[in-house]
Structure formats: C-alpha cells, structure tokens
Amino acid sequence: MRQLIFLLFMCSFTYTALAKELKYPTALIPDSLKKNAYAVVRNEKWEVNVISLSKVKIQITKAITVLNSKGKKKAWERFSYDKNNKIVAVSARMYNSLGQEVEKWNRKDWEDISYDPYGTIYSESRSILCLPIENEYPYTIEYNLTIERDYTYGINGWYPSWEDNMSVERSSYILSYSPEIKIKYKEYHFNNQITKKEQENTITWTMRHSTAHKSEPYSPVKNEYLPHLKVGLKEFKYDHYLGHSETWEDFGKFRVELNSHRDILPKERQTEIDKIAATCHNDLEKVQKLYTYMQAHTRYINIIEGIGGIQPFPAETVSKNGYGDCKALSNYMKAILKSVGIKSYYTVVKAGKQDYYFDPEFISHQSNHVILCVPMPTDTIWLECTSQTMPCGFLGSFTDNRTVLLITEHGGVLAQTPKYGKEENKIIRTANVKIAPSGDGTASVTTIYKGLEYDNKHWFAEEDKEDQLKLLHDECNIPNFKITHFKIDNVKTRKPSLYEELNLTLPSYASKSGSRLFLPLKLIKKRNYVPPKLQNRALDIVVKKEYCNLDTISYSIPENYAIEIIPEAYTINSKFGQYKCATKIKGNKIIYSRYMEMNSGKYPAEEYDSFIDFFEQIKKNDQPIAILKQVVQ
C-alpha cells in the first residue's frame, strides 16, 4: 500500500521531478522508525581518509527528517574550524515532505562566529552555524561538509544513534588510510543492525533501521550501552610533534614533549614565591598558601590557539598576563610548586558532572580538561586551578571519582581522583521555630553544606549581599516568609563546609481553624521529586551521587495550647537508601527529625518500580502536620 501511495504522488509531481530531483520523501519512512521519534536520520555518511600522519580529509553527508517541533533542534548543526582544521566546502538544503527542495544555504549563508563554548576571550577557532527556520512539518535538512586537517592527534569516531528520540534509517562510516598508516579501532555494543566490510586499506561500517530510544531517568552514560566506534592511530602527529599510543606511558610522553620548557617563572615572581614559602613549616602548608596565591593572581579565561588547544601557554606568559585556561593555569601552578622543590603532575581528565566515561583499554585522547596532582608522603592533593573559589585539595563533582592520566617525567600513568561518599556529601540543618497563638512564627535556621553539597553552593559565598538575599529567597520553599537576617561562612579546608544562618519571619505559618492550629513540621525544601513511571524500562538504573540529609527542627508552641496530634514515626530501609522521620514532645516543644540517605549504585531495570516507590514513600511522608488545640482556662 505504501508503494502504491508513493507511486501516485510521484505521478502527480512529474513536472517538478523533471525540474528538480525529489529527495527524502517522508512517505518512505517505515512506521517502525517513527515510533518514539522526533526526527529520523535518513542518510548519514562519514568518509574519513587518513592521507598521512599530517593530513586527514573528512567528508560528511547528513540528512535529517524533522517530524515535529520537538525534533527541530536535532537538525541544527554547528561545525568548528581553525588554521589546522579547515572547512573547505559546506552547504545545506531543505526539502519538504514530498522531497522537493525549498531552501538552500551555501557557505556565505551560514553564520560565522567565534567559537565560544567556555567564555573564550581569544581563539583561533571559529564556528559556522546553521539554524534553519522550520518549514511545514515534516521537512528534511541535508548537510554536506568537507574538512581537511593538518594533524592526526585525534580521529573522529562514529556515534550513529547517539540522540534520544531519533531513529536511523541509514548511517555509515568509511575509514580509508594510506598503506604506511597503522590504524586502530574499537567497536562498542555493536548489534545485528551494523554490518562491516573490509577492503584493502578501507573499512566500512553501516547501520540500518535503528529505532528511536527514549530518554530514561537515572540512565547509564550512553557509552555504556549505545553502539559506537572509536578510531585512532598507533603513531600520530600534531604540528612537528610525533606521538605514539601503544601504551599510556607512550601516550603521556607526547604531552611531556608538548609541555617541555614551559615551566620557567620570571625572577620577580620567583622572589615573591620564595618569600611565601619561607613562612611555611612544611610542604603541605606551602601547597596551600601557594595555591591561594595563584588563585589571587590569576583568573580563568579559555584561550584556544597554537597547537589545537592541547599545549599550555608558558608559565612566564601566565605570570605576566594574569590569566589562562585550564592547561595554562595548571602548568603555572606546577611551575610554582617546582620552584620551591615540590613535585606535581599535570593531569588530563574527562571533566563533566553527568557524561563522564573513560576507556583505559583504548589508548587515545579522551580528555577535555586539566587539573594538578600533588603527591605527598601520606596523601595526594588534587588542585582545580581554574577556580578562584575552590578550596585547596577539593575537586568537586566536575572531576571527582574518575580515571585520569598523570603526565609524569617518564610518560603517562593512570590514576583515580577521590570519590566523595555519604560521609562527605551532607546537608545538616537545625532550626528553632517559635509559634504565636495567631499561627505566625519566627525561626532561626542553621544549615551546613559539605562535600558535593558544598560544591553545589560554594560559589554562593562569593556573591554580593543583595544577590545572596535573592538566592536565599529562591531556595526557601516556605509561603509568605521574610528573611530578617542572614550570614554565610565559607570554611575552605580540604574537607570544606559552607555555613548558612537565617532568621525568618513566618506569617500564618500554622493554619488556624477554630480552636486548633495545624502546624507543618518540615520547614524547608519538601521532597517532591518522583521519577516518572515508565512502561518496559530498558536500561539499568544508575545513581551516581550518594548523600545524606539531616534536619532537626524544634517548635515552641504558644501558651494556652496543647499538643493534640503528632505524626507517627516512619522508616524506610531500602537498597536505594534510607529514610527516617520522627516527632517527639519535650515540654512545650515539638522536636521533628528527618534523615534521608541515598546510595550510589547500579540496579537492574526490573527494579524501577521499586525505585519509584522509594521516592513516592518519601514524598508521602515528607508533609508531616502536628495539630495543636487551645486550652480553655
């Protein structure tokens, strides 16, 4: 039937077909590829030709049919370029649902902008951007791009079905290479939808008819379950630097050479550093004071120039300018420590709170950030050199608990950054609330944030008072409250804490009805989130962050009122975590305590209903009410 319909509309548009070729008519998309899909990749082809150690040519064709408004962003494309990564040809065309061309964009029609993903102040990199204005849905955008690169340090891999709610009709990756080139590749999670064809110096992988997958909360990173391909060279080159990837040690030697002779400080800077070091009693104190000195005299600015953004500016340049990117600032801190006899290691890492993944078995470039590792006799200190506010020795969720590559004098060495667990990640809140006979209240609240909870909020201490007050108002989930006084204290130790003190007025906090007051016992931040219910969940449940929260709130009840009803204690003990709430009476006070603990871990998809139930039970019991009754004298 579908073929008959297509034949009829083809006949009705004979004249148009003679004038222009019909491409990607949506009538030919199988229904199976429309299920759960906002867009469909009709045809994608990556042709990667490694011509020599210093030359790669990439040709990309990608046609995406946008089915509805939810899929429009999937058709937006942005390509970056610089002096070593040249876009030699680019175009785009739009086709309507019948396959007729309705719009086109040549190179001059694309927006050409500075490449600025991280607040770059100076960059040799730029981007061309195409944001097509939608035609009537569905429509198709086809991109054609040719890139020439003057290096082989990193070779693009293949990620054919990476986006949620997007199916793939056909995607192929063609790798060709000169006979003298030694390639390597690794296939991840390939299935029977992917075929492989090998010829002399050419390998072709093709995916056909991959259905769309929906986003699922608490999912693993996509590298752990979606098909993809990593490609590299056993010997590679960038500019005049030659590198090898047989071992991590070899791979690290490439970075050693890149960084060589870039750790020399100006004499006047060395004099200042020597004076600071002379006041210290041990190496640990030197690291702490010199890190603080570095933070005070530099600021982070992303600068992409030179050798592809992988070689740091010399320490002397950073000293003079007072700014640098992660590479430059880490190298600068390394130079400072070296000048006082303390060894440290420039450390490359794949940073990010959500999408971390590292394969230690595939030796290749897998990083996007640099930090510093300082080994000490009894411990290791990790330094985030791009932050002016991060305490010495504390990393936070951007780089915690992951494999990193230390660049030692002998080459690369794999290591692991610290994991912050439940003992570190805490919010501890205590409050004293006084309730008036009218139901109005006043409260003094003290909250301590630790570990990754501190990381989420440490920047808060650096804001001005007016902004702090606004942010506190946004955070307090209390009706009709007013902050009459607040204080923020940032304790910057290796196990840092942020102390927050609030004085509040709470108009009509307890609801009055006749002779009774209905008193909410959970003062701030009721737990409302419950993961959505899913039918036939496919993926494991992954909880990355573990933490615990403890609230203790004391309510002084008004005179001439008695406590009529208090909530019963409730406890949940689960593999996912623990929850306890209890209410006690102590004289004229009600003491409400709440403990919430979340475990990190991986759980099978079949346990998702139990996982949801854990959150639902917390939400149900997170709205405790005490009832007070007026006593007739």
pTM value > 0.75 = yes
Q: CATH assignment of 24-227?
A: 2.60.40.3140
Residue spans of the domains in the chain: they are: 24-227, 242-416, 426-630
421, 546 Cβ separation under 8 angstroms: yes
Model pLDDT for residues 251-285, shown as the tens digit of each residue = 999 999 999 999 999 999 999 999 999 999 999 99
Tokens of 292: 């603080």
Q: Give percent above pLDDT 90 in the chain.
A: 80
The band of 33, judged by pLDDT with boundaries at 50, 70 and 90, is: very high
pLDDT score recorded for residue 200: 93
527, 618 Cβ separation under 8 angstroms: yes
| Residue 573 host element (H or E) | strand 570-573
Compute, in degrees rounded to 10, the torsion defined by CA atoms 614, 615, 616, 622.
110
- Round to whole Å and give the CA distance between 426 and 145: 49
pLDDT score recorded for residue 309: 74
Q: Which of 72-81, 360-369, 563-572 has the lowest mean pLDDT?
A: 72-81
Half-sphere exposure of 114 (CA within 13 A, CB side): 12
- CA 324 to chain CA centroid, Å, is 22
At 311, is the secondary structure helix, strand, or coil? Answer: coil
Half-sphere exposure of 338 (CA within 13 A, CB side): 18
pLDDT score recorded for residue 102: 92
pLDDT at 117 exceeding the cut of 60: no
Closest CA to 432 of 422, 440, 444, 420: 444
pLDDT score recorded for residue 305: 55
**Residue 119: which region, alpha, beta or left (left: phi > 0; alpha: psi -120 to 50)?**
left
CA angle at residue 456 from 454 to 462, to 5 degrees?
80
Largest CA distance in the chain: 100
Tokens of 273: 């550093």
Residue carrying structure tokens 């800077």:
269
Closest CA to 20 of 92, 114, 99, 88: 99
Tokens of 28: 């030919």
Tokens of 343: 């060894």
pLDDT at 290 exceeding the cut of 50: yes
pLDDT at 143 exceeding the cut of 70: yes
Q: What is the mean pLDDT of the chain?
A: 91
The amino acid that residue 238 corresponds to is Y
The amino acid that residue 467 corresponds to is D
Half-sphere exposure of 203 (CA within 13 A, CB side): 17
Model pLDDT for residues 437-456, shown as the tens digit of each residue = 999 999 999 999 999 999 99
pLDDT score recorded for residue 527: 65
- Round to whole Å and give the CA distance between 396 and 419: 9
pLDDT at 544 exceeding the cut of 70: yes
CATH of 242-416, one of 3.40.640.10, 3.40.50.280, 3.40.710.10, 3.10.620.30: 3.10.620.30
Residue carrying structure tokens 């010495």:
392
pLDDT at 97 exceeding the cut of 80: yes
Tokens of 222: 């996509």
The edge-to-edge listing of strands for the beta sheet with 166-177 is 101-106, 85-95, 139-149, 55-66, 39-52, 166-177, 202-210, 194-199
Cβ contacts of residue 302 below 8 Å, gap of 6+?
117, 118, 119, 120, 121, 123, 325
pLDDT score recorded for residue 128: 83
Q: CATH assignment of 426-630?
A: 2.60.120.1130
Compute, in degrees rounded to 10, the torsion defined by CA atoms 277, 280, 283, 289.
-70
Tokens of 492: 């910057």
Region 303-327 average pLDDT? 84
Greater pLDDT, 14 or 316: 316
Q: What DSSP state is assigned to residue 358?
A: -
pLDDT at 77 exceeding the cut of 60: yes
Q: Is 190 exposed, middle or buried (0-12, 13-18, 19+ CB in 10 A)?
A: middle
Model pLDDT for residues 585-620, shown as the tens digit of each residue = 999 999 999 999 999 999 999 999 999 999 999 999
Q: How many CB atoms are closer than 10 A to CB 90?
A: 21
pLDDT at 3 exceeding the cut of 60: no
pLDDT at 12 exceeding the cut of 60: no
- Round to whole Å and give the CA distance between 130 and 114: 14
Helices 267-278 & 326-339 angle (0-180, nearest 10):
60
The band of 344, judged by pLDDT with boundaries at 50, 70 and 90, is: very high
The band of 356, judged by pLDDT with boundaries at 50, 70 and 90, is: confident
Tokens of 409: 């004098």
pLDDT score recorded for residue 4: 43
pLDDT at 239 exceeding the cut of 90: no
The band of 111, judged by pLDDT with boundaries at 50, 70 and 90, is: confident
- Is the alpha carbon torsion for 340, 345, 348, 349 positive or negative? negative
pLDDT score recorded for residue 130: 80
CA angle at residue 464 from 463 to 469, to 5 degrees?
90
pLDDT at 413 exceeding the cut of 60: yes
- Is the alpha carbon torsion for 364, 367, 372, 378 positive or negative? negative
Residues facing 572 on adjacent strands: 579
Greater pLDDT, 98 or 301: 98
- Round to whole Å and give the CA distance between 485 and 457: 19
pLDDT score recorded for residue 125: 67
Q: Which of 107-116, 131-140, 300-309, 486-495 is the most confident on average?
A: 486-495
The edge-to-edge listing of strands for the beta sheet with 183-188 is 155-158, 228-233, 183-188
pLDDT score recorded for residue 132: 77
pLDDT score recorded for residue 16: 44
**Residue 328: which region, alpha, beta or left (left: phi > 0; alpha: psi -120 to 50)?**
alpha
At 321, is the secondary structure helix, strand, or coil? Answer: helix
pLDDT score recorded for residue 118: 47
